[in-house]
């Protein structure tokens, strides 16, 4: 398990959004089509991260209920982009799963000239099991 403080920082950084800008207006939640399926709602999501409660987020259904439709991003008056925060935690969860993420050693043998670079980048976001 990573140090939670470090993890929060990394998640925020990867999301490219500034959670402090959130003014708790709730427009993200109001716009979200998955709101009712989520246990932690988009506007709460921002406050979980600001509190550093990453474990709470990692075990939430929200991660897998968010459709990445970006309605929340489009509506947020403060440019917070909750969907990007959610995506960032989702990626952290994927990376953590069993700690068996794909490594450089795994891909070296698979490389060929035809392979798009994007595929390589994406592969590092995946886990083996």
**12: CB partners within 8 A, 6+ apart:** 18, 19, 49, 85, 88
Query: Site for another protein (CB under 8 A): which residue of 76, 85, 89, 92?
Result: 76
Distance CA 43, CA 18 (A): 13
Taking CB under 8 A as the binding criterion, the range among 52-60, 76-84, 92-100, 117-125 that sits at the site for another protein is 76-84
Number of residues that bind another protein (CB under 8 A): 21
User: Which entry of ligand SF4, another protein, none binds 4, CB below 5 to 8 A by partner kind?
Assistant: none
Query: Site for ligand SF4 (CB under 6 A): which residue of 80, 88, 90, 92?
Result: 80
Residue 103 engages ligand SF4 in binding (rule: CB under 6 A):
no
| Tokens describing residue 71 | 């309605």
| Geometric angle at alpha carbon 91, from 43 and 65, rounded to 5° | 50
């Amino acid at each position: 398990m990573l140090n939670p403080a470090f993890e929060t920082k990394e998640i925020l950084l990867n999301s490219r959004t500034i959670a402090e800008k959130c003014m708790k207006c709730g427009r993200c939640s109001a716009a979200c089509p998955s709101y009712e399926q989520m246990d932690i709602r988009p506007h709460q999501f921002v406050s979980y991260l600001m509190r550093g409660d990453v474990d709470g987020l990692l075990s939430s259904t929200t991660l897998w209920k968010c459709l990445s439709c970006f309605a929340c991003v489009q509506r947020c008056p403060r440019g917070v982009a909750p969907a990007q925060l959610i995506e960032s935690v989702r990626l952290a969860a994927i990376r953590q799963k069993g700690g068996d993420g794909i490594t450089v050693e795994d891909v070296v043998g698979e490389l060929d000239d035809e392979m798009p670079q994007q595929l390589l980048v994406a592969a590092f976001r995946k886990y083996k099991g």
